[in-house]
């Protein structure tokens, strides 16, 4: 038998309204009434039924978060940032994982509709403008982390993947490298595409040729980085540097290099992206780009909660700075090799 507000009211000899008031810290309840009620609540270990409460209030105080997966450092940090911020604002978190599957992504979002959450934070691959339009008609606030679609009518918190990619590749160029390979990420991932665009842009600006043999595609997994590197190493004219669009794949490059007896950074410079925890512990430590994922998660919550609270905030596009981190996996192009 679960205990309800009626039980408490009866036992305390007050009305349910009064009990409700004390639960909700309504000032107008007299001190002793409050005390008595509190006491009985405690004694009966009463916990208000949140469905009933949500129904009556028309809000849930829960945030939904949709991510492809949670085991990669990148998303794990976002989740942590979101969770902490949500907690601090007295919101709880629904977590939905899409496995980067288009259909599951849509299911997840639909699932969160229907007053299950007050707002939604989305890190998605497949969402399109049409779907966003549909979303807007729902009684639901939302903000994106990362911008799968260019759309000024939605709030996003992002990182400038283009510039970050540009800068990281420029580092390689400044080191004297000309034969630079690029390992792209999942074809569906817009962020990898942006990094690639940045790469192409610098190459072009420095009048460097983009050799198609040097452009490989992985799915952000280490294994794919490994395969891509193997192919690269089988080329007649090998690249002297490789830019992997995430650290996982860079780790794969390390492995392939080791197997082929190619020394990093002496014979091959490599730069990654993300600055995962392991990056600084690799041998040699990996030059990479750090994204403030935790803070991005926090920021998304901040914006979302403002919206939920009804503050008329303009749709904003927050761009966080990345940090280029020079470590030892990249060095001046050797004249020997």
Partner DNA sequence: GTGAAAGCGCTAACAG
Partner DNA sequence: CTGTTAGCGCTTTCAC
Residues that bind DNA (CB under 7 A): 2, 4-6, 13-18, 20-21, 23-24, 28-30, 32-34, 48-49, 52-53, 55-58
Nearest to 217 by CA among 225, 208, 206: 225
111 binds its own copies (CB under 8 A): yes
335 token code pair: 């004249």
Identify the residue among 14, 40, 62, 192 touching its own copies (CB under 8 A).
62
Nearer to DNA, 24 or 99 (CB): 24
d(CA 275, CA 296): 15
Neighbours of 201 (CB within 10 A): 16
Question: Strands 269-271 and 288-290, how do they pair?
Answer: unpaired
Closest distance to DNA from the beta carbon of 131 (Å): 22
Q: How far is the CB of 9 from DNA (least distance, A)?
A: 7
> Does the protein bind its own copies through residue 199 (CB under 8 A)?
no
**31-44 and 5-12 helices, crossing angle to 10°:** 130
Is residue 12 involved in binding its own copies (CB under 8 A)?
A: no
Binding to its own copies in span 35-54, by CB under 8 A: 45, 47-52, 54
* Piece of the chain touching its own copies by CB under 8 A; list 87-95, 147-155, 194-202, 302-310: 87-95
User: 313-318, long-range: CB within 8 Å, 24+ apart, which pairs?
Assistant: 313/155, 315/152, 315/153, 315/154, 315/155, 316/155, 316/156, 317/147, 317/152, 317/155, 317/156, 317/157, 317/158, 318/155, 318/156, 318/157, 318/158
The binder of 113, among its own copies, DNA, none, by C-beta within 5 to 8 A per type, is its own copies
Contact flag: residue 290 with its own copies (CB under 8 A): no
Q: Counting contacts by CB under 8 A, is residue 251 touching its own copies?
A: yes
114 in contact with its own copies (CB under 8 A)? yes
Least distance from C-beta 266 to its own copies, angstroms? Answer: 15
Residue 177 near residue 240 (C-beta atoms within 8 A): yes
In the set 95, 173, 215, 313, which binds its own copies (CB under 8 A)?
Answer: 95
Given its own copies, DNA, none, residue 80, with its beta carbon under 5 to 8 Å by kind, binds: its own copies
Whether the CA torsion 10, 12, 15, 20 is positive or negative: it is negative
The least distance separating its own copies from the CB of residue 87, rounded to whole angstroms, comes to: 7
Q: Which is nearer to its own copies, 54 or 219 (CB)?
A: 54
Residue 277 binding: pick among its own copies, DNA, none (C-beta 5-8 Å cut-off by kind): its own copies
Q: Which is nearer to DNA, 35 or 263 (CB)?
A: 35
Beta carbon of residue 166, minimum distance to DNA (angstroms, whole number) = 49
Least separation in angstroms between residue 335's CB and its own copies is 27
Q: Tell me which residues touch its own copies (CB under 8 A).
A: 2, 45, 47-52, 54-55, 60, 62, 69-71, 73, 76-77, 79-80, 83-84, 87, 92-97, 99, 104, 110-111, 113-116, 134, 137-139, 222, 251, 254-255, 276-278, 281-283
């Amino acid at each position: 038998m679960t205990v309800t507000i009626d039980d408490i009211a009866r036992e305390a000899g007050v009305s349910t309204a009064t009990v409700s008031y004390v639960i909700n810290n309504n000032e107008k309840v007299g001190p002793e009434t409050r005390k008595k009620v509190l006491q009985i609540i405690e004694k009966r270990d009463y916990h208000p039924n949140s469905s009933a409460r949500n129904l009556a209030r028309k809000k849930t105080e829960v945030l939904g978060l949709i991510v492809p997966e949670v085991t990669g450092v990148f998303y794990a940090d976002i989740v942590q940032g979101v969770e902490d911020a949500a907690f601090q604002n007295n919101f709880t978190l629904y977590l939905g994982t899409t496995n980067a599957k288009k259909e599951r992504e849509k299911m997840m979002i639909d699932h969160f509709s229907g007053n299950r959450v007050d707002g939604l934070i989305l890190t998605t691959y497949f969402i399109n403008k049409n779907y966003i339009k549909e979303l807007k008609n729902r009684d639901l606030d939302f903000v994106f982390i990362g911008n799968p679609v260019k759309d000024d009518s939605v709030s996003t918190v992002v990182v400038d993947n283009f510039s970050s990619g540009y800068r990281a590749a420029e580092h390689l160029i400044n080191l004297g490298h000309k034969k630079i390979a690029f390992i792209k990420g999942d074809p569906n991932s817009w962020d990898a595409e942006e990094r690639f665009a940045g790469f192409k842009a610098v190459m072009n600006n420095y009048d460097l040729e983009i050799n198609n043999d040097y452009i490989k595609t992985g799915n952000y997994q280490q294994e794919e980085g490994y395969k891509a590197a193997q192919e690269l190493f089988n080329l007649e004219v090998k690249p002297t540097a490789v830019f992997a669009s995430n650290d996982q794949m860079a780790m794969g490059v390390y492995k392939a290099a080791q197997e082929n007896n190619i020394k990093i950074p002496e014979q091959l410079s490599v730069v990654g992206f993300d600055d995962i925890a392991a990056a600084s512990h690799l041998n040699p430590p990996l030059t990479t780009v750090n994204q403030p994922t935790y803070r991005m998660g926090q920021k998304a919550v901040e914006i979302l909660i403002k919206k939920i609270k009804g503050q008329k905030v303009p749709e904003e596009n927050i761009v966080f700075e990345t940090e280029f981190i020079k470590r030892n996996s990249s060095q001046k192009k050797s004249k020997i090799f």
